Amino acid sequence: MIDLKFHRVSKKYRIQRDLSPGATRTPFSGLRGLTGKYGDFWALKDVSFQVTRGETLGIIGPNGAGKSTILKLLSKITVPTSGEIMINGRLSALIEVGSGFHPELTGVENIYLSGSILGMRRREISDNLDSIIDFAGVRQFIDTPVKRYSSGMYVRLGFSIAAHLQPDVLLLDEVLAVGDEAFQAKCYDRILELKDRGTTIVFISHDLDAVEFLCDRALLLSNGEIASGGLPGDVIRRYQQESNSERLTGPKTYERGGARNPIRITRLTFLDDQEREVLHAFTGGPLIARVEFAATEPLGDLDFEVFYYSQDGKLHCQFSTSLGADAINVDRGEGALQFSCAELGLQPGVYYADATIERRTDGQEIDWQYRSALLRVEPGKRASGSFYVPHQWRITQQKDAAARAPYFVARHYSCEEPETTNDDSNLPEPVAEWDLIRLDNPRCASEQ
């Protein structure tokens, strides 16, 4: 049973060519717009795909690939230029939360307003009202105008309304990035619940992890066409490969003053501990980042850096030679600088990397490769929290003092005896297992 079908769909937008932002607007210059020059931009070119009942399809791709056009076409906001779209059943779009909220109206009034806009019947809303309020956790403020809500409450209420839609086909945008972690977990649960019940889902996102987690199948869009399709893991890998090879030739190369740089970064790659090129690493696993460069003259006083950003643009960590006492000197010609990290602290996810070369004395960037590679970090060593820290442990225990152990253990750690220090250099193995150290040190024991 096919629930959704795109048959040779194309979408053309008309874009105005000749009005540059600085152009003066003379009286009646608007009239030129009626006859003036327009260019055609094909946001989608001959796209065909179908989704069977109960399937979750992920659509990924770089910005401008046509993802939002598909979203708009499916939600009937705009129409195709040619081709045909078939939707079997009630389609609801879980897109931008809080659409249609009016600040002056109370929570309840906004539930009715936003719910109706999303296509719910008034009866449906009344039947679900309590559930919507509880899901959002705003019962106390439900008769307060929403302009007095915190942004968190606003977003939760918006999502809660949308989450109560009972669609046959669900359209998901980047909505999962709302609220705190507890609320996000609730949202995921709701989506999984709809999925369990056999709802057909189309998930359009930048969030590759979420796509891999939720979807049965994925499509990669590129320049308005389907570049590949298949299992989410495979498609995501292909996407990363493509973007890694394209990124360095991309337009966002940073050049100082337009002059030719004396040194340029030619490539940024990641290697595993066997020095094989990889696209992914593991949390807590080894990682080597290799910055290849070409210098047209001998240069000194340099620092190399690699920055890791998550997909929301947040800087997570960096590799930097500025930690060393000496600046880097290079000779004329090509070369490479390798950073190696024994245990990567990044949590699973997809990260963008920037590579830069700068002068140490004034911090001036000589070359800056913006978002020049994608690194996927897969689950390795499991750690809760925002990052993994390399750590080791030992356990110490007093003979027949087990009942009072917590106190003594704490005290004993403070003893400066070789057996009980936690100085790494004395440890025989990087800890995959733990040592039990018996405490028979008389000095420590005497402190009791």
Partner 1 sequence: MATRLTSNAIADVVLPAEARRVTVIRSPSQSRFSIINSVFELARYRDLLYTLTMHRIKVRYKQSILGVSWAILQPVSMMIIFTTVFSLIARMPSDGVPYAIFAYVALLPWNSFSSSVTNATGGLVSHSQLVTKVYFPREILPISYVLAAQVDFLIASIVLASLMVYYRVPLTANALYAIPIIVVLIAFSLSIALICSATQVRFRDIGMATPLLLQLWMFATPIVYPTSAVPSRLRYVHLVNPMSPIIENFRQVILFAAAPDFASLGRSMLISGILLIASYMYFKRVEVTMADVI
Kindly list the residues in this chain that would bind partner 1 in the complex (CB under 8 A): 13, 30, 72-73, 75-91, 93, 95-96, 99-100, 102, 104-105, 109, 112-113, 116-122, 124, 127-128, 131, 134-135, 137, 145, 163-164, 166, 168, 186, 189-190, 192-193, 196-197
CB of 150 to partner 1, least distance (A): 19
Nearer to partner 1, 133 or 355 (CB): 133
Q: How far apart, in whole angstroms, are the C-alpha atoms of residue 340 and residue 40? A: 48
CB of 186 or CB of 290, closer to partner 1: 186
Furthest-apart CA atoms within the chain: distance in Å: 97
Determine the residue type at 98. Answer: G
Closer CB to partner 1, 189 or 255, in the complex: 189
Least separation in angstroms between residue 123's CB and partner 1 is 8
Indicate the residue among 48 and 340 with the shorter CB distance to partner 1.
48
Taking alpha carbons only, the member of 49, 54, 8 closest to residue 169 is 54
Structural tokens at position 342: 């024994």
Shortest spacing between CB 289 and partner 1, in angstroms: 40
Q: Closer CB to partner 1, residue 202 or residue 357?
A: 202
- Find where tokens 């779009």 sit: 93
Which C-beta is closer to partner 1: that of 199 or that of 356? Answer: 199
Task: State the minimum distance, in angstroms, from the CB of residue 147 to partner 1.
Answer: 10
The backbone torsions φ and ψ at residue 215, rounded to the nearest 5 degrees and listed phi first, read -95, 150
Count Cβ atoms below 10 Å from residue 411 Cβ, excluding itself.
13
Class of residue 313 by CB neighbours under 10 A (exposed 0-12, middle 13-18, buried 19+)? exposed
What is the amino acid identity at position 108? V
Minimum CB distance to partner 1 smaller for 185 or for 231: 185
Tell the smallest beta-carbon distance from residue 197 to partner 1 (Å).
8
What does the alpha-carbon distance between residue 284 and residue 381 come to, in Å, rounded to a whole number?
A: 5
As measured in angstroms, the least distance from the Cβ of 13 to partner 1 is: 6
Q: In angstroms, what is the minimal distance from the CB of 49 to partner 1? A: 15
244: tokens are: 């890694």
Residues 6+ apart with CB under 8 A from 53: 1, 2, 3, 198, 200
DSSP label at residue 229? E
Per-residue three-class SS string for 316-369:
EEEEEHHHCCCCEEECCEEEEEEEEECCCCECCEEEEEEEEEEECCCCCEEEEE
Q: From CA 219, how far away is CA 67, in angstroms rounded?
A: 10
Question: 202 or 377: whose CB is closer to partner 1?
Answer: 202
**Minimum distance, C-beta of residue 7 to partner 1, in the bound complex (Å):** 10
